[in-house]
């Protein structure tokens, strides 16, 4: 019986998605509620895409949380500096 080789990159990407969810939910302490809702909706779309890509394209999955983080970080930095978010 042949054993199929499983790529670890799908698991790496899903771990990144879990970390990203904590960042998105933590945004509620800094940003307005609607920004948090938008981030969580984006996370849900990316999570569904990650689940879909998990088996056929596991090397693509880690790019999803990296791309989302590349959106999250400047949004929070610019919002806190220029828009007065967070207090």
Q: Containing domain of residue 70, as a range?
A: 9-82
47 in a structural domain: yes
Yes or no: say if 24 and 72 are a contact pair by the CB < 8 Å rule. Answer: yes
14 in a structural domain: yes
25 in a structural domain: yes
Per-residue pLDDT of 41-54, as tens digits, reads 999 999 999 999 99
Neighbours of 84 (CB within 10 A): 8
Look at the chain and report how many structural domains it folds into: 1
60 in a structural domain: yes
2 in a structural domain: no
Per-residue pLDDT of 21-33, as tens digits, reads 999 999 999 999 9
Cα–Cα distance for residue pair 2/65, rounded to 1 Å:
33
């Amino acid at each position: 019986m042949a054993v199929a080789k499983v790529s670890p990159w799908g698991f790496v990407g899903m771990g990144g998605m879990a970390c990203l969810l904590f960042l998105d939910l933590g945004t509620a302490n800094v940003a307005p509620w609607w920004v948090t809702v938008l981030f969580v909706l984006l996370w849900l779309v990316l999570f569904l895409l990650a689940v879909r890509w998990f088996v056929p394209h596991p090397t693509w999955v880690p790019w999803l949380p990296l791309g989302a983080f590349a959106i999250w970080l400047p949004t929070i930095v610019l919002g806190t500096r220029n828009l007065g978010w967070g207090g």
